[in-house]
Structures are given as C-alpha cells and as structure tokens.
A and B are shown apart, each in its own frame.
Chain A
C-alpha cells in the first residue's frame, strides 16, 4: 500500500444526545479511491464535515501528510489540499462558472481580480481531467451534471490533492454517473486521492479500491473491493439481515386513476410529456427514476398543487378537469409529499392542527374549527400509528423525521383513501421507521387502496410495487411487472432505454 496522505485518528463528535462519530479512524493513500459506505445517519457526512473544517470534533485529530490539521478551519483544509464536493451543490446560480470557481481563491483586498489567469488555469484543469464546461456560462443555465463538474473543478482549482465527494451520484442519471466514475478513476491514476460517500452497493463495488463501512457512528469494517461482495457489505452496513415486509399477492380491482398524454409546462419548460399510466384498486404502481426527471411535477399534479397543461386525467373512470387540493382530498386521495418539513407539515403548528389542516371543512362548523374533534383525531393517529414524542397539542417541529412521517401517513390512511400518492415516503428515515412506513403502505394495498409509489430507492420499489414504470426526462416508460424486473432491467429503464421491456408486460 502507498503512504497515507490522510489519517483520521480517533475522531468523535456529539450533537446533543446523539453520538454522530464515535472514535473513527481511517486512512487514505495516494492515488487511492476509498468508499465510505453507510446508511443515512451512520455519521458519514459528519465525519467529512469535520475533515473539511465545518465542524470541530470533540476528540481526535486529522493529519495530512503527517501534519495535524487545525480543527474547524475550512481555509486550513483547503490550504492543505482537501477539496469537498457537496451533495447539495455549494454554488451560486446567478454567478458564472468562473466566478463560482474563483471565489475565495485570491487575497481579499487585491485591487483587481486576475480573471484572465484564472480562466486559463480553469480551462487547463478542465482539459486535463476531461471536465469540459464553459467558464463564462451562468451557473443556473447548466444541467445538474455540468454543475457537479463545476463543483469538482472548484476543488481542483484550489490544488486539491484529496477530494471528498458526498453522495456524488445522488442527482445523476446512470450514464452521467458512469462517466463521472471514469473521471474519478482517471484522477486517481494521475495521483489524486479520493473519498466518496455512498450508500449504493453497486457503485461502491465498481469504483472503490477500498471500502470503509460506517454504522451508528463507528467504523464496523474495512474491506478491499477485490475481497468482498455486495451481500457482505449490505449486511455490514445494516448490521442485520434486512427484513422488509413481504408483499402478499393480491388481485387488482377496477381502474381508479388513469392518465392519458398528460403534459405539464412550467415557465416554458416541458416538465412532463405524454405521461400515461393506469392505477388499479389494491395494487402498488412504482415510479422509479433519478431525481429531477419529473417526479415532483407528477406528484404535484396528482396532489392538486399544480395544473396540467394538456392531456386527460380520469378519476374512477370519469374525465376530470384540473384538481384543487380540496377536490383531491374530497375524492379520497391521500397524499404523502416528498418534502416532509416543507410541505408535509407546518413545524410551528401543533400536531392536531397539522392533522386536520387539509380537512378543515370536515373539522369545522360555521367557520369555527372543531378543536375537540381535531384533538381526538390527532390522538387516534398517535395511538394507531405509533407516533412517538408528542401529544396532540405539542409542536410538530419536535417530532423526529420518522414520527413526522407516521403522522402524515396516519392523517391520510385513517380516512381509508381509495388512492394514495406516496412520493419518496421512506427517504431519510432510519430502518425501523422505513419498515413501519412500508408495512402501512402494504396494509393499505391489502385494504384495496391504489398506491402510486414515486421513489428513487430501487430496493423500496422492488419490494413494494406490483408494476413498475420509469420516469426519464418527463416521460414515463411502459410498465413492467415486478416479478420480471431485475436491477439490470430497471437500470436500463431509468437510463431511458426501454427497448428491453417486453411487449406483453405493458398491455394494460
């Protein structure tokens, strides 16, 4: 093994009661790619934030080329050659690529920015690593993949020798992701050292030399990629065999929701094109896809918060116009929004208020809110759905993500919806909460609810859905039956290659 350029020695960090990092040690060699594997909440991002100086560790130290890095100083980290590529891009959409890259690279009080030199250096780096991008383009005009290239360029521009990438493929299509990993390997060959954070087993196996598995804030294992396999890694990552609820066979009933040639335009951009599907009672239809391919507008149209521009929507067999939120709720459609905190609940209001807000007509008389009934309803959700950490009158903000999701599920499922629109229902939840949410969805399916499951998590879709369609660039692929779908076929579907979908499968 090569000499380590980076040593993390016994790093611990506590947030309140939560020990996010517990004596973590690991190292990185020159020209090496190490994957940091772990579930959400395993402490990966905290560790990298400490390494980059965003957080000060409670204990332990970071050494670069044997020299200790002063804690909590991003500038020192940059100076030592550490570059970070965030999962949520740290870019300004109103500035140009060059301006984004140049920020903070010069003496602040210099009388003039050396723009020309900077442009030359940037173009040079871009060519060397095959990261082509127009330095004068406004960042907001670039695609997501291009924006990520800018993030990487930014780090390289600062002469980074150690590159940290936080879930780099989260927002990329398969093809973009493949291209990016090729670039990363090329960088490693040219002497850079890389750590990438991931919870996707495939890409970890494909791209890394070495894999460090994190669980509950501790390093639980370290493996060479050549000496392990996905099954072992999965078990290490989760710590136990994954027991997800079993999907019992069911016989789908009548078609309750159908879209035909549905289109949505927002600000002149076509977000959905010729979208069509049928959804039957007692089945789960999974919509898979890389984020940003039209999932959000699709969920919004069906939730009553966005009007379609064209196409037909048939509800219980009848063509209907644009639906308002009230129409949707009245029609017996339950909605689980993608953004729990932004859309799903109003944190500063109490639990009972959040429980009844979308059903105020039912919980009011003559314009007066029926507080008593609302409290009783909230109490019944708390009991039936095992919402912990709150009472009907306490603030919703205090609930954990999983409990907030149970509240949202509860307020929808308590009313026995005929249709359930679930967008990323388990995102960011811990394993226990994920299992609870999945069990509830299958329970609703068994009771005859038609479920539309929009998710980026393939495992989730495979274990819950009866049929699966992929959304790519605002278009929906033909459906495949879950039994026929394997990871390879779904991968192709998500990349837009629908030629392998058997004709028989998508006959309605």
Chain B
C-alpha cells in the first residue's frame, strides 16, 4: 500500500497526468465536435499521426514551434475536408471512410517522413516546447510542480476544452451543431444548412486532432517515429462516449484516463514479476471498460452516422 501512496504523493505523477492527457484532450475534443454534428471521424488515428509528423517536420526545417502547431492544424483541416467529402457530400459509410482516411493519413505520414529522413536509426530531434512556470502558482509546494509547470500546449488544451463547452452550449452556432447532430432535417427546416455545419465541425475537429498529434512530437517527445500515436486516436473515440459528448466531461475523462496511465507507468517500475505488457494493456482495457459502462447511458446524438441528403428521409 505504501508503494501506491508514494506514487500518489509524488508531484511528478500529477505533472505527468497533464502531459499524458494533453494529446487525448485535443483528440477527444476534435472527435466530439465531429460527432456532435453527426459525423463519426475514425480518421483520427491517421490525422493525429500526420499532425505529429508534419508539425515536427516544419520545426525540423526551421519553423518555430507555434508555426509547427499551425501547420499541423492546417493539415488536419485538409483531412477534414477529405472526410467531409466522403461522408457528408457523398454520404458514404462513416466507418469505412474514416478507416480509409486513417490508413491513408498514416501511410502518407510515413512516406513523407522517409523521404526526408531516409535512414532508419536514431531519428533526428528538434527542441520541443519547454515547461512554463506560471508566476507565483508554480512556486507553491507540491501543487506548483504538479500542475503549473506544463508546456504551453497543455494550458491551451484546457482552455480549448472550456471554450468548446461554452460554444456548444451557449452560442447559436453550438445549437446549430447540436441540432444538426440530432436531426439535420429539422436544422434544414429552420434555415440551418446541415451540410455546411457538418463540414465546419469535421474540419475544425480534424484540426484539433492534428494539433493533438503535434503535441506528441513537439512537446511530449522531440522526434517522430512511425506508429508513435499507438492507438491514442481510438482511445479518444472511446473517451467521447465516456464523456457523453460533453466537452467538460471529455476534459475530466482524459485526465482520469491519464491518471491511470501515469499511475501504471510508475507502478511498472516498482512492482516486480509482472510483465510490463500487462501494464501497457491497461489503457486499452480501460477504454473498452469505459465504453461498456457508458454506451447505454449516454444520450447519443440521434443522427450520428446517418448521412444527410436533402429531400431524402
């Protein structure tokens, strides 16, 4: 028991939670935005991979870090356009289109990366975001190092979660998004163009996913390597369900998830005799568990995964 307590009492754990949660927060918010408008975006895994690669590549070629993040976001919007074309304009299966986008985006990332860095081996690195000490708060004992010495994108993720919660529940455009996800015919009848809303949500959501990927190469690590996203995108999709499509709960869910992840990482080093793979499995098992727990309870957007065509009911 004391082992568990020691882990919980270390500021490092709590700092790690925020770090681990950051890409998940971005990704979950992105997926959530798409789904609120009625589009499941399984392109997330590939879009995060591409964002990680292209953001890193931009910085590697001399751009500053924020430009790298911006480049990633723009790449995300392009994949968002692709996914929208397939699922909104053509109304194709959101499952298969999303998987197609993921397969394409990730293999394209690896292709571009290998063109620039032809040799396998130790991948080249960039200087990542440095932790920002928030004046006064960061010098608090325990709480300071635990919560107020993060890199800028982490703070950004939390701010975006709050902003998205506000937009979805308090603004006309948020209502238009929710109505489109619930009943696009009703939205259309009231003069809201569901096609445009879906395009907008998928494009913006995909940009957030890509930024989440860029966090991996520009803050959590300092280089890119294939398969580095490691299913984080799929975990985000599960977290959206866990969060019942609410941005505030998405933030909470990502942090809770990151807590378990950070905890198991530390537990790995102190518990002997248990294969490390068991610990590595926990995030995926937790995700499945969260899905099973929440799937029945959550109020799923009624038009999720239903293509909208004018005049067709």
Measuring CB to CB, which residues of chain A are less than 8 angstroms from any residue of chain B?
Answer: 52, 54-55, 74-75, 78, 84, 86, 88-95, 99-100, 102-113, 154, 158
Residues B171 and A112 in contact, CB atoms below 8 Å apart: yes
Residues B182 and A95 in contact, CB atoms below 8 Å apart: yes
Neighbour of B182 across the interface among A75, A88, A94, CB < 8 A: A94
Contacts of B313 in A (CB 8 A): 88
B286-313 interface code vs A (CB 8 A; 1 in, 0 out): 0000000000000101100000001101
Listed by A's residue number, 18 A-B pairs whose Cβ atoms lie within 8 Å are: A54-B189, A54-B311, A86-B189, A92-B179, A92-B182, A92-B186, A94-B299, A94-B301, A95-B175, A95-B179, A100-B186, A102-B172, A104-B176, A105-B190, A108-B173, A109-B173, A112-B170, A112-B171
| Complex: chain B residue closest to A76, CB-CB | B191
How many residues of chain B are within 8 Å of chain A by beta carbon? 25
Residues of A contacting B: mostly: loop
B178 is an interface residue with CB less than 8 A from chain A? yes
Contacts of B182 in A (CB 8 A): 92-95
Residues B172 and A106 in contact, CB atoms below 8 Å apart: yes
Residues B189 and A84 in contact, CB atoms below 8 Å apart: yes
Q: Which 5 A-B pairs have the closest CB atoms?
A: A92-B182, A104-B190, A90-B186, A75-B191, A106-B172
In Å, the complex CA distance between A111 and B170 comes to: 8
Residues B171 and A103 in contact, CB atoms below 8 Å apart: no
Query: What is the CB-to-nearest-CB distance from B178 to chain A, in angstroms, rounded to a whole number?
Result: 6
Contacts of B191 in A (CB 8 A): 74-75, 78, 104
Neighbour of B183 across the interface among A91, A102, A104, A106, CB < 8 A: A91
In Å, the complex CA distance between A354 and B170 comes to: 50
Neighbour of B172 across the interface among A54, A100, A113, CB < 8 A: A113
Residues B311 and A103 in contact, CB atoms below 8 Å apart: no
Residues A90 and B192 in contact, CB atoms below 8 Å apart: no
B18 is an interface residue with CB less than 8 A from chain A? no
Query: What is the CB-to-nearest-CB distance from A258 to chain B, in angstroms, rounded to a whole number?
Result: 37
In Å, the complex CA distance between A102 and B178 comes to: 12
Query: What is the CB-to-nearest-CB distance from B119 to chain A, in angstroms, rounded to a whole number?
Result: 49
| Complex: chain B residue closest to A114, CB-CB | B172
B41-77 interface code vs A (CB 8 A; 1 in, 0 out): 0000000000000000000000000000000000000
In Å, the complex CA distance between A154 and B301 comes to: 21
Contacts of A55 in B (CB 8 A): 311
Contacts of A112 in B (CB 8 A): 170-171
B133 is an interface residue with CB less than 8 A from chain A? no
Query: What is the CB-to-nearest-CB distance from A126 to chain B, in angstroms, rounded to a whole number?
Result: 18
Residues A103 and B302 in contact, CB atoms below 8 Å apart: no
Contacts of A95 in B (CB 8 A): 175, 178-179, 182
In Å, the complex CA distance between A158 and B299 comes to: 28
Residues A91 and B186 in contact, CB atoms below 8 Å apart: yes
Query: What is the CB-to-nearest-CB distance from A10 to chain B, in angstroms, rounded to a whole number?
Result: 22
Contacts of A89 in B (CB 8 A): 186
| Complex: chain A residue closest to B188, CB-CB | A74
Contacts of B179 in A (CB 8 A): 92, 95, 99-100, 103-104
Residues B192 and A103 in contact, CB atoms below 8 Å apart: yes
Contacts of B311 in A (CB 8 A): 54-55
| Complex: chain B residue closest to A77, CB-CB | B191
Contacts of B37 in A (CB 8 A): none
| Complex: chain A residue closest to B310, CB-CB | A54
B232 is an interface residue with CB less than 8 A from chain A? no
In Å, the complex CA distance between A378 and B183 comes to: 39
| Contact residues of B between 157 and 203, Cβ < 8 Å to A | 170-176, 178-179, 182-183, 185-192
Query: Beyond A55-B311, A92-B183, A94-B182, is A110–B172 a contact (Cβ under 8 Å)?
Result: yes
Contacts of A158 in B (CB 8 A): 190
In Å, the complex CA distance between A110 and B175 comes to: 11
Residues B190 and A78 in contact, CB atoms below 8 Å apart: yes
Residues A74 and B189 in contact, CB atoms below 8 Å apart: yes
Query: What is the CB-to-nearest-CB distance from A481 to chain B, in angstroms, rounded to a whole number?
Result: 40
In Å, the complex CA distance between A93 and B178 comes to: 11
Residues A103 and B176 in contact, CB atoms below 8 Å apart: yes
Query: What is the CB-to-nearest-CB distance from A200 to chain B, in angstroms, rounded to a whole number?
Result: 23
| Complex: chain B residue closest to A157, CB-CB | B190
Neighbour of A102 across the interface among B175, B299, B302, CB < 8 A: B175
Query: Beyond A90-B183, A109-B173, A113-B171, is A154–B190 a contact (Cβ under 8 Å)?
Result: yes
In Å, the complex CA distance between A2 and B210 comes to: 62
Residues B170 and A99 in contact, CB atoms below 8 Å apart: no
